[in-house]
Structure 1
Amino acid sequence: MNLRLWLSGLRPKTLPASIAPVLVGAALASRIIDRLGTCIDSFPVPAECVANRAVAEPLQAHFWPVAVLCMFVAMLLQIAVNFANDYSDGVRGTDDGRDTAESDSTSDVNNRIAKPQRLVASGVPPKHVLAAAGIAAGLAALCGLAAVLISHAWWLLAVGVLSIAAGWFYTGGRHPYGYAGLGEVAVFLFFGLAAVLGTEYALSSSIDALGVAAAICCGLNAAMLLMVNNLRDIESDREHDKCTLAVRLGEQRATVLLMVCCILAWALGLFLCMYLWMPWGGILLISGIAVPIRMVSSVPKHQFRTALSDAGFQTLLFAVVAAVAAMIA
């Protein structure tokens, strides 16, 4: 077993997309719980304060166990999706020649290095890759079930089932939606809205407008990570009839869409961070503005290794700043 090959198959540069929304959702949930447990000292204690504290105390008691479980769920689901994607593309032949095609070019070093090795295309038996995907998905399901049992957020079971199904049908099944250009939409929904709002609800039993705004930011950041990946693979995807959004739009229009998403994510993220912690939240976020500028400027130059690293970094940057701002506020 080639450990280095399997680590590459994990696609570690995609993991920030799973870590960031849970971090943001947990921070916003902590803010909600703290506000529930805070009351002005007076005697007799207002009935509303008594009721709020009764709600806040059990939420505080299980906050960290559920937060850690949510983080494991997100990361394991991402790993399961990566392995399932490798398996499905491998058995379809979509990954055939991806790495070797790039090795014939000496003018695009960054593009070549950025491509992770595909497990099935590299000779790993497909059943082993499928088994790895199944194990990761099973562990994610167990962690999710434990989180639901602790938090009693039973409707999140349905979200978990949909997430696992979405991970498989991205490139699996007879009509994978990833081959129809809907991958970015699914990433926005599941690594943005579902992950942030699901975490926030599991921890605080509520969802607020700030959570929705943060979920949109995380979803856009995750979608941009996939956009860069698909722009990198646009030629090989086109050759294998994998009609990603980049293939459907063409390289130029897909690059413009990437820039638009980046502007929207940063505008909303800046507003959110400043709202939570004026003005320092905004200042902290702006301190990293060079990263998205370099990301969008690297794509037209086909410097995808740089662009992918920057896309992952800005995803975590927003999450960390938003989490710090929410906790301090």
Structure 2
Amino acid sequence: MQTQMHTNIPPSNLKNWKVWWQLTRPHTLTASFVPVLLGTALALQEAEIHFGLLFAMLIASLLIQAATNMFNEYYDYKHGLDNEESVGIGGAIVRDGIKPKTILNLALALYGISLLIGVYICMSSSWWLALVGLVCMLVGYLYTGGPMPIAYTPFGEIVSGFFMGMIIILISFFIQTGTITPTSILVSFPILILVGAIMLSNNIRDLDGDKEFGRKTLAILLGRNRAIRLLAGMFIISYAWVFILIAMNIISPWLAIVILSAPKAIKATKGFIGKTVPIQMMPAMKATAQTNTIFGFLLSIGLFIGYLL
């Protein structure tokens, strides 16, 4: 059984900006940045871009993602999942001495700022987005909070992919165009998968520890080897989906540029094979997040080039 003991550390360390930056789990922030960029690039075909709404959506999405990560930090500590030996960039409470309540309050403050930004977005587009935004924020909290945390179930990958991938893309598209199109839904699907892949890679790394604490993640239910094969399959489907849309003349052939991100996907998959120690799998986790980032950027670039030509 892990001991949840908060240790005091010198105030100078508490003021270290790197501790606070790591608390946001920066490698996950692209999971919210990329969908906003992609949704806006999709909107180029339909309307003139409103840059005020673009930046507002970008900031709100980043703040909600950072807050979600802080809720994760808080509840992982409360549930005894974090200790001084935990692998990863979490652990600001157990390793850096930040008080749990401080992290919880900061997460709630970021949610509050996001709500204010959301008011501006709704005033400039539709108040129906207020309901969608509140649901997204609730899911962000319930991912690791509440009586039945989503992250502890087999549904973490699909929920995070849907809300942090597809929904953000569609909101970003809607606030620029005032509508949702079949193409916007179809193009958002690979990002749904890749955001889910980030969560799956995290669960593959933490499989043994999560099993010990009674989690029922998809990686635990499948077993390590099948989970790795699923991760590889998610990468393959994401790339194949884009080329199918190109073959059906739904999107521009320029979007085939996403293939340039394939080496990262291969590196991520190979990085998990034969590994059982969490620290050994950190490069594979990083490569999975980078695949989503590069894939999304390249999709956006392809859309932009197709728009210009």
Scaled to the shorter chain, the TM-score interval is: 0.7 to 0.9
* Equivalent residues in 2 for 1:69-80, closer than 5 Å: 69-80=56-67
Task: Report the Cα distance in structure 1 between the residues aligned to 2:55 and 2:161, rounded to whole angstroms.
Answer: 22
Task: Report the Cα distance in structure 2 between the residues aligned to 1:145 and 1:305, rounded to whole angstroms.
Answer: 38
Q: 1:142 to 1:272 in 2, by over 3 A?
A: farther
TM-score (norm 2): 0.87
1:82 aligns with 2:69: yes
| Ranges in structure 1 where 5+ consecutive residues have no aligned partner | 34-59, 100-111
Task: Report the Cα distance in structure 2 between the residues aligned to 1:304 and 1:211, rounded to whole angstroms.
Answer: 34
Tell which structure's C-alpha radius of gyration is larger: 1
Task: Report the Cα distance in structure 2 between the residues aligned to 1:310 and 1:271, rounded to whole angstroms.
Answer: 25
Is residue 242–residue 255 contact of structure 2 (8 Å, CA) maintained in 1?
Answer: no
1:324 aligns with 2:301: yes
Task: Report the Cα distance in structure 2 between the residues aligned to 1:273 and 1:134, rounded to whole angstroms.
Answer: 42
Is residue 164–residue 192 contact of structure 2 (8 Å, CA) maintained in 1?
Answer: yes
| Ranges in structure 2 where 5+ consecutive residues have no aligned partner | 1-13
Return the offset for 1:4: 2.2
**Over the residues paired in the alignment, what is the CA RMSD in angstroms?**
1.8
Task: Report the Cα distance in structure 1 between the residues aligned to 2:138 and 2:202, rounded to whole angstroms.
Answer: 22
- Equivalent residue for 1:277? 252
Query: Which residue type is aligned with residue 53 of structure 2?
Result: V
Return the offset for 1:121: 2.5
Is residue 273–residue 322 contact of structure 1 (8 Å, CA) maintained in 2?
Answer: no
Report how many aligned residue pairs link the two structures. 285
3-state SS of 2:45 partner: helix
Structure 1 vs Structure 2: percent identity of aligned residues?
Answer: 27
1:111-142 deviations in whole A, cap 9, x for unaligned? Answer: x5xx1131222232110010111111112222
Task: Report the Cα distance in structure 1 between the residues aligned to 2:110 and 2:209, rounded to whole angstroms.
Answer: 28
Query: Which residue type is aligned with residue 64 of structure 1?
Result: F
Q: 1:98 to 1:219 in 2, by over 3 A?
A: farther
Query: Which residue type is aligned with residue 281 of structure 1?
Result: L
Task: Report the Cα distance in structure 1 between the residues aligned to 2:171 and 2:179, rounded to whole angstroms.
Answer: 9
Is residue 205–residue 282 contact of structure 2 (8 Å, CA) maintained in 1?
Answer: no
1:144 aligns with 2:118: yes
3-state SS of 1:287 partner: helix
1:170 aligns with 2:143: yes
Return the offset for 1:309: 2.2
Return the offset for 1:318: 2.0
Task: Report the Cα distance in structure 1 between the residues aligned to 2:243 and 2:290, rounded to whole angstroms.
Answer: 16
Q: 1:240 to 1:98 in 2, by over 3 A?
A: farther
1:297 aligns with 2:270: yes
1:87-116 deviations in whole A, cap 9, x for unaligned? Answer: 0111111113542xxxxxxxxxxxx5xx11
Task: Report the Cα distance in structure 2 between the residues aligned to 1:129 and 1:79, rounded to whole angstroms.
Answer: 11
1:168-213 deviations in whole A, cap 9, x for unaligned? Answer: 1111111212212221121121012211111111110111122112
- Equivalent residue for 2:164? 191
Task: Report the Cα distance in structure 1 between the residues aligned to 2:35 and 2:106, rounded to whole angstroms.
Answer: 24
1:133 aligns with 2:107: yes
1:240 aligns with 2:213: yes
Return the offset for 1:219: 0.8
- Equivalent residue for 1:287? 260
Query: Which residue type is aligned with residue 319 of structure 1?
Result: G
Task: Report the Cα distance in structure 1 between the residues aligned to 2:155 and 2:93, rounded to whole angstroms.
Answer: 24
Is residue 273–residue 321 contact of structure 1 (8 Å, CA) maintained in 2?
Answer: no
Query: Which residue type is aligned with residue 124 of structure 1?
Result: I
3-state SS of 2:261 partner: coil
